[in-house]
Chains A and B, each alone.
Chain A
Amino acid sequence: MIRVLVPLALALVAALPLRAQVAVQEITSPGGIDAWLVEERSIPFVALELSFRGGAVLDPEGLEGVTSLMASMLSEGAGELDSRAFAARSEALATSFRFSAGQDTMTISASMLTENRDEAAALLRLALAEPRFDADALERLRARAISGARSDERNPSAIAGRAFAALFYDGHPYALRPDGTVESLGAITRDDLIAQRDRVMARDRLHVAAVGDIDAEELGALLDYLLGWLPETGAPLPRHAEAVLRPGLTVIDFDGPQSVVLFGHAGIARQDEDFLPAFVMMEAFGGGRFGTRLMREVRVARGLTYGIGAYLVSRTFGETVRGQFSTDNARVAEAIAAVRAEWARMAEAGLSEDELADIQTYLTGAYPLRFDGNANIAGILVGMQLQGLPADYMTYRNDLVDALTVDEIAAIAARVLDPEALHFVVVGRPVGLDTGN
């Protein structure tokens, strides 16, 4: 039925040019800071995204969670301003500052009005350059982080994720929980926060994007003011993780009617020249929505689970292909067999012409929806820098997707997917699984 509609729609589509190509300028500040800028004068504010490569992967051993805690502490008072005074000042200037850290990056997202940008920038500089790390704020945020870590200890999905990471990234920071554990969070001191700030925030790992009411010259001056004080280098970044192939099965006992199953094997790097066909193939195979291969075969045809997805997880320091589903304990074995069979079928035959056309329609339609608002666009631009993509990538990305052929998809499926290499982590009380290896 969908096929009948498309020709009807085409006549109207032709009248609408696809516009709004985001025009990115690549600039360098007088002080030497590189940034991507989209000048967008229609609304008098600017969204700024500052990202430091190397986030929680730089946590010292025994202090897991320190980068994340340090990032949250940046908005808890700086200079003469304690936590409440800092918040009141930020409120009065109508700014929005967000400080966050993931495994690969620590990121500052700031929105500042044109009318008081100098004052807002002064407040942001204060937070970055002179954070107080006051004891009462530290205890408050530590308690919150510990409570998060505790609830993860009882969450079967989180348990499965940690076990999977430990198996594939043994000995690499990727094996650890980026937000820390109850023990590591309890051990963090104010001095650790100060030391971690010096390890994480440095010029040699900085990526910047700005979208909004600012020109190249103003942005250059702003960046030098905000970030000119940064040290040249921080802690050495970790080595690239070699995901060691460990096919097999790991069962972790957890009381409940259902099991959570996480599975995967080694993946493909974002910089690989065949990353895009691999991404398109996986979106059609397991993209986490109705209509994917895995949903059709495992949920719709066999009723083995409510939802199943599988994705490329291609990160800065390592890559896997990973999938997840939940099912009744009694049906885990059957569901795992179904996943293996689909994995093998995709590796052998790839996508049909129809499947490829459908996923091209979906992906080219979904792509523009991401470019929604200045702050989102700034975030996407920094993400592209981190992935090594050129600044004009979005202007031709949909063309690349549309140009893919079933042969290219079949070739990459055969290269990336390997049913024999799959490792399954099962958290629950599965019945009838052979746990021999």
Chain B
Amino acid sequence: MPRFLRSLVAVIAFVCLALPAAALDPRAGVHGFTLDNGLEVVVIEDARSPAVTHMLWYRAGAADEPPGISGIAHFLEHLMFKGTDSRAPGEFSAIVEAQGGRDNAFTSWDYTAYFQRVAADRLGLMMELEADRMANLSFTDAEWLPERDVILEERGQVVESRAGSVFNEIMRAALFKNHRYGIPIIGWRHEMEGLTGDHAMDFYRAHYGPNNAVLVVAGGVTVDEVRALAEAHYGPIPPNPVVVPRNRPVEPPHLAERRIIREDARVAQPYVLRQYLAPARRPGDQREAAALVLLAELLGGSPRTSFFAEQLLFAEPALALSASAFYSPIWLDHGTFGLSIVPAEGVTLQEAEDAMDAAVADFLRAGVDPDRLEVIRARIRASEIYAMDDVQGRARRIGAAMTSGLTLEDELAWSEILMSVTADEVMEAAAGIFDRNRAVTGWLMAPGGDVAPRSTGPARVELPSEQVSQ
């Protein structure tokens, strides 16, 4: 009890972002504060829910790995389930399951996150377990050696057995010339084969600690309850003194177009994928990224009403089975903006790529259709409303933003910024993004198969994935 009182007094930076309750206010019920050991805490109160999501995010991901041991961030994520000084391998998940809860973890280029969902009255137990492995991870050769086989098996299953995933790996490696975003999260196989428990421990000691983490708790709890529990469980862990702010190598100017032709006998449906280097959301400076989100929506968001749908899918004769544009804005260093097209029967990849580029050129000439922009704004507003009903999704967005260079306030302001983007801003962003010298264009096809065959199934492009789950 004395420790508990002292901890309460020691809260040095408490920021309450809750404003008077108003429908749709993304700030309602959201609170942020920082413990004196540097752990940032965000609470999303949802009084409707009898459950709670507990997520711990570390500002360490695959792009923070030292050269030569790619995959170590993800390997460590697996080993975090292999015990601590006082808990046996597998005990963590066994306790969560025994409580009727769910747990998982995932690794990205910019972060590694661990989460559990349990009845709200069991939050303290989750914090006790998570805080224990933040400070006291411990495993032996008997744990890490077989687990290395598990991640190699995982690479086989989620990358090597899928033509689209191998293709995405090749595309990223060609797009990024200097940044480690070009190296797969799960790692290159030949480097994974040499990973050891010591490598994982080194990465853990360099990056894990309260001063390099963000705790997000969402659901049927109050900020006061969470603060008391966080002080009790995470509060006693001292800051990790070796953690330093991230300062990674960035991309040099991109001066020439890159093209990839990947032949893979497993491809039934060939397609064209293009990835442009793009800006990401910046703290206090998110309008360009917001304009790119709207651009992707207008150009190739909906399969029924987008510009691509009109020009490429419902043209007579139809040139494509599907065509889309996509952009993800949450990155510490560089984002990517993507276009894809799956040609219709009898259309070659070259013809499809040309048609896609022609559609982009038409869009740049025609400008933004104000009616369509209104519909998209309405849909964005609606998705924000529905998102309020998904407290886990909100927790996930906040955690990803805060471990990718953004602040809680940036994330809470994001939907207003999205809604206020103008047609001029969209066109300005469009004028800047479509530079083939800053892009890689890839064709994925069966050997010699650059003409689309009769469709045998859904026209699917394997979209680049940004996370590897446990």
Contact = CB atoms under 8 A, between A and B. Distances in A.
Interface stretch (B91-99, B190-198, B326-334, B422-430): B91-99
A96 B24 CA distance: 19
Contacts of A20: 47-50, 120, 220
B115 to A, nearest CB: 13
B388 A43 contact: yes
Contacts of B94: 2, 290-291
Contacts of A84: 304
A371 interface: yes
Nearest to B126: A9
A19 interface: yes
Contact of A369 (B119, B302, B379): B119
Given A16-B221, A367-B100, A44 B24 contact: yes
Contacts of A362: 97-100
A88 interface: yes
A172 to B, nearest CB: 35
Interface string B85-122: 00110010011011111100000000000000111111
Interface stretch (B179-187, B224-232, B238-246, B284-292): B224-232
B382 interface: yes
A92 B374 CA distance: 9
A365 B122 contact: yes
A386 interface: no
Contacts of B220: 19-20, 368
A45 B225 contact: no
B297 to A, nearest CB: 12
Contact of B97 (A1, A91, A111, A289): A289
Given A92-B378, A362-B98, A15 B225 contact: yes
Contact of A364 (B48, B88, B100, B221): B100
B53 to A, nearest CB: 10
B125 A5 contact: yes
B385 interface: yes
Interface residues of A, number: 47
A50 interface: no
B390 interface: yes
A364 B119 contact: yes
A1 B49 CA distance: 30
Contact of A361 (B21, B99, B102): B99
Contacts, number: 140
A240 B39 CA distance: 59
Interface string B351-393: 0000000000000000000000001001101110110111010
Interface residues of B, number: 51
Interface in A1-31: 1-2, 5, 8-9, 12-13, 15-16, 18-21
Contacts of B319: none
Contacts of A13: 121-122, 124-125
A94 B122 contact: no
Contact of B50 (A12, A92, A96, A371): A371
Contact of A16 (B28, B49, B121, B304): B121
Contact of B119 (A113, A358, A365): A365
B117 A94 contact: no
Contacts of A368: 49-51, 119-120, 220
A369 B52 CA distance: 8
Contact of B302 (A21, A91, A367, A373): A91
A91 B118 CA distance: 34
Contact of A1 (B91, B128, B228, B305): B91
Nearest to B228: A15
B123 interface: yes
Contacts of A366: 100-101, 119
Contacts of A273: none
Interface string A348-372: 0000000000100111111111011
Contacts of A375: 389
Contacts of B125: 5, 9, 12-13
Interface in A258-285: none
Given A15-B225, A43-B385, A363-B100, A372 B304 contact: no
B120 A19 contact: yes
A13 B98 CA distance: 16
Q: Which of A111, A371, A372 has the most CB of B within 10 A?
A: A372
15 contacts: A12-B123, A13-B122, A18-B119, A20-B50, A41-B23, A42-B388, A43-B23, A43-B388, A44-B24, A113-B382, A113-B385, A365-B100, A367-B100, A368-B51, A374-B389
Interface of A: 1-2, 5, 8-9, 12-13, 15-16, 18-21, 40-45, 84, 87-88, 91-92, 94, 96, 111, 113, 213, 289-291, 358, 361-369, 371-375
Interface of B: 21, 23-24, 28, 47-51, 87-88, 91, 94-95, 97-102, 117-125, 128, 220-221, 225, 228-229, 232, 302, 304-305, 375, 378-379, 381-383, 385-386, 388-390, 392
Top 7 nearest A-B pairs by Cβ distance?
A: A365-B100, A366-B100, A12-B124, A94-B382, A368-B50, A20-B50, A9-B125
Given A16-B120, A291-B94, A365-B122, 7 more contacts: A2-B91, A9-B122, A15-B225, A18-B120, A19-B47, A91-B379, A368-B51
